[in-house]
Structure 1
């Protein structure tokens, strides 16, 4: 009697074990066959869960979450896109730097250490964006970050803190 065990996970990974002869005398699966079938089942389930999790994460952020309710980005004309990144545009330096800084300031409240950690996170995130970009970012990015840092630094100073690390 031929036994074929096959598991498939929607085209991503396929595990198949075939041509395993089970005699009428044993009618038992070997430990290896059982282990392989559990492994294949686990892999299929893990891929299914990962796809679900990634989809959920991708859907958790929309432009509406940051207040943008305009036309979908992919449908903008060149002039509309330029207006959005202009100095007074929604994605311009002033509004974007304010959103970044306000996120950190509001999240920290009056806790100086959280505010300093948020500032550090801004710099770390920016450095990671540079690495992902693979080269120097567009100049608007640097100016935006500088303006956001100025606002956070001003709040740190209001709370009696310093952005300089004097502990060294």
Structure 2
């Protein structure tokens, strides 16, 4: 089975094989959307402490990338009325075109979700483009549900946002209006 040879680990983004994938991700997004509709994190942002950067490898070759940016609840404490628990935003998901259809994106999602849940993150949110049909299908297959645009994506014509609850005890379908 092809995905058996794919491993996923947290690695620094500043390495040649990984930078090749970041460049590919950027070129792909820029080929589809105008500059104001691209929300790509640069390499220095991907190196920040609140970002976990994941690399999928087939042997030694980097074949996929993704980042999880942790958003912490402000002034969280143990009060019953404390803000919602931390959530993470999935960013820069990209699979080398030569490795697509081999389960690389699914392997990245599985590892990121497991790590996020272990860190107490209860929800992963993400934004993708309206022309990224394969990405939207992937997220839907993995339990993500479309949500209203959030944060910097509000009002963006090309943005489609998704979320997935990682807390199985409260994992209920969201109401849609």
TM-score (norm 2): 0.31
TM-score (norm 1): 0.33
Higher share of residues assigned helix: 1
